[in-house]
Amino acid sequence: MARTHTLGFPRMGAHRELKFALEQHWRGDIDAQALESVGAELRARHWFVQKAAGLDFVTVGDFAFYDHVANHIQMLGCEPARFGFTGEEPELHRYFAMARGTQAGQHSSHGAGCDCAHETAGGRFALEMTKWFDTNYHYLVPEFHADTEFHLASLRLFDEVAQALEAGHKVKAVLLGPLSFLWLGKEKQAGFDRFSLLDKLLPVYEQILHRLRMQGVEWVQIDEPILGLDLPDEWRHAFERTYWRLARGGVKLMLATYFSPLSDNLRLACQLPVAGLHVDAVRAAEDLTGVTDWLPSHKVLSLGIVDGRNIWRTDLDAALARIRSVAEKHRGELWLAPSCSLLHVPFGLQAETGLDAELKSWLAFAVEKLSELRVLRAMLNGDEASVQAEWNSSRAAVASRRASPRVHREAVAARLAQAAPHADRRASVFAMRQEQQRARLALPPLPTTTIGSFPQTTEIRAARAAFKRGTLDEARYREAMQAEIALAVRKQEALGLDVLVHGEAERNDMVEYFGEQLDGFAFTANGWVQSYGSRCVKPPLIYGDVARPRPMTVDWTVYAQRLTKKPMKGMLTGPITILQWSFVRDDQPRSTTARQLAWAIRDEVCDLEQAGIAIIQIDEPAIREGLPLRRVGWKPYLAWATQAFRVTASGVRDETQIHTHMCYSEFNDILPEIAAMDADVITIETSRSDMDLLRGFGEFKYPNEIGPGVYDIHSPRVPTVGEMVALLEKAARVIEPGQLWVNPDCGLKTRNWPETEQALAHMVQAAKAVRVNLGSGHHEAGIGKPSGDGREAAFVLPVENASVGR
Ligand code: GLN
Ligand code: ZN
């Protein structure tokens, strides 16, 4: 008899109750106790959902007020010393101080209702945040020193277990495994390796397991997702000793792996002294044969058969066939589960009243995924009759999706099939394009520009919201946005920037804006997924072949260009970023969806060129986060991802300058592929790494032009001219000055106008200063003629373009 369980459940609540409670607490509107009761209420409800779906256990320990890794930091007693906690502060106060940082002399991280009298002397930075494997969930990074000690410091987990037991549930507790916990942290001290802390950490885990057993917990799920990574030998070899040690805790361990194939760690995972192994049968299906070969029959095999990373209804027939083939080989007990925690999908479909019935029938969010497990288990256990109706409707939905003309559009397939083999190449090599672009654009050396967005003021947001609600008509909305664009253009001209942008006032979000105008996309009303802390995102769904019915940005861009003689940079989101930040189809490879997106955006690029726009930026901030977790997957991914970018960018003439922008990226290890994107100009985020990143570009001899961000837009602080001059000079030492651009790190939409204008004024001054310095020395020939000599190129649009677009 198969059993069912889930690796974890979304925390936010059906209506993001946790988000709102957290924000109230941080504002000081509710005290810690009120927040705790919201947490308890949400857990109770979510366990009830699990019970109602007939799961054999409810999962306890997946809840967190901010992040589960942060919970472990507290439980394991390794809050970084730099926070200066005395130990007298309430636990939740310390928790939010780590998660959100504290400002000097101020209770920034707990509500006014908090009775803690503790006052931090100086401000403390929050713990660093980084992406949880290849998901969009961000965890707080544990900080380690050689003298880091561990002890069981928070009893929260046991309290939650007690809460669930009291409610009459059968409990499976979940922990992040010790090796993954260490792996995900960072050394904050030179000459020391966090691996060396393992032996100090294990006794605390043993103690936790022992304590859970004393509470009556039979099963503990222990997550070691790092088994899906390319691990150094030392770490791999430590698994055996670690799990022998944890076996002493006396509970049954379900070792959970997910997101990525076990591959070379497969035998190891099968042979560890644990009672069960969970494998991701969606993303690591190739492991199944090996696992059934190697996993002894006295161990439970938990099959992650329902996709925990995507929103599609499971093809139950296919799933059942797969489960049966596994069951034939694995003689031991079988459990059914989602592939990973359901943290990565929205709560439930009930709130989706706006989706049409057909599309909705193709979907399954967390609640529905649990039902799928129940149906699968019934089928497997020979109890078809009880689930016949559900099975039939699931089958009908899967069949309708498979055959739907909304999904498969002949024109899109035909276009991809007919694409010329060189469609992903510009007509000429970079050097030739550069010459023509310089002649056309006549920019000064070290041209100044920005990354696209300007402050999204409350007025802008209000106008957009009113337009969406229908209380502001299209004409008035257009006027309001045009006024914002005109304002942005005036300000940029006054600042003396060389390449202007329209400011993206009309865009709520760089992916949603395009998704809303492309065929093949749908948007949910309530499909929120936690990104970090109280922040949630609502990714678009790409359900069908992607096409662009009409231009998306041309009108706005042309409007902006008409207001200035300086070049106006068109602004688009690239195919990989759209792919990466959406829920995508599972019925075709990601690479195919990427190509469809590429052709759709390419049309927009060509239309912008046609309308007289000389510079077009295609943002790809997400290209690096699409990298597979295992290195063997990098090459193939980068090949199709960079090709998709080139397809997007290559429909234009030599004299049209293509920019791309990337941020958050450590990309020194993929520089050849970034160079292979062949953008004429790349702007990158560098100021936070003090230009370290740039060194990589310099050593690699990045061939095209490059704009290393000279100031951090994430901070309200306005950098001085001197600081930016220093950064530019540093940049000019590693990059040929003739290749350099001057720009901020990223878009400015989260900043306000006064700080933006000040910072950009300093940036323009810094560029001018460095130009003068360079002019007196090793300045190479070939840099476009400086402006200000009366020979500015005029970007006045031809009259026939007046009717471009709608
Ligand atoms: N063009 C976008 C902006 O300026 C780029 C944002 C990003 O890189 N995340 O807002
Ligand atoms: Zn950016």
Residues with CB under 6 A from ligand 1: 451-453, 504, 510, 571, 619, 621, 661, 663, 746-747, 749
In this structure, are residues 618 and 658 in contact, taking their beta carbons and an 8 Å threshold?
yes
Q: Which one of 449, 453, 662 would you pick to mutate in the ligand 1 pocket, going by the greatest count of ligand atoms within 8 A of its CB?
A: 453
Lowest average pLDDT, out of 582-591, 604-613, 666-675, goes to 666-675
| Percent of the chain residues topping a pLDDT of 90 | 87
Is 778 known to be catalytic?
Answer: no
In 471-620, at which residue ranges do the beta strands (DSSP E only) sit? 519-522, 529-532, 535-537, 541-547, 569-573, 615-619
pTM score, whole prediction: 0.92
804, pLDDT greater than 60:
no
Model confidence band, residue 523 (pLDDT cutoffs 50, 70, 90)? very high
Q: In the prediction, which pLDDT does 103 show? A: 72
For helices 156-166 and 32-52, angle between their N-to-C axes, nearest 10 degrees: 50
Q: In the prediction, which pLDDT does 331 show? A: 93
Query: Average pLDDT for residues 432-451, to the nearest whole number?
Result: 98
CA of 146 to the centre of ligand 2 (A): 35
Q: What is the mean pLDDT of the chain?
A: 92
User: Tens of pLDDT along 163-193?
Assistant: 999 999 999 999 999 999 999 999 999 999 9
Q: In the prediction, which pLDDT does 774 show? A: 83
User: Tens of pLDDT along 531-566?
Assistant: 999 999 999 999 999 999 999 999 999 999 999 999
Q: In the prediction, which pLDDT does 694 show? A: 78
CA of 631 to the centre of ligand 1 (A): 28
Q: Report the nearest-CA residue for atom 8 of ligand 1.
A: 621
b/e per residue, 440-469, with b = 16+ CB within 10 A?
bbbbbbbbbbbbbbbbbeeebeebbeebee
Q: Report the nearest-CA residue for atom 4 of ligand 1.
A: 747
Active-site annotation holder among 714, 762, 778, 779: 714
Starting from the CA of residue 453, give the closest ligand.
1
CA of 41 to the centre of ligand 2 (A): 38
Q: Which one of 537, 556, 619 would you pick to mutate in the ligand 1 pocket, going by the greatest count of ligand atoms within 8 A of its CB?
A: 619
User: Tens of pLDDT along 304-353?
Assistant: 999 999 999 999 999 999 999 999 999 999 999 999 999 999 999 999 99
Q: Return the structure tokens found at 528.
A: 């929120």
Encode 360-390 in three state secondary structure. Answer: HHCECCHHHHHHHHHHHHHHHCCCHHHHHHH
CA of 451 to the centre of ligand 2 (A): 7
Q: Report the nearest-CA residue for atom 9 of ligand 1.
A: 621
- Tell which residue, 297, 307, 262, has the closest CA to residue 276: 297
115, pLDDT greater than 80:
no
CA of 151 to the centre of ligand 1 (A): 43
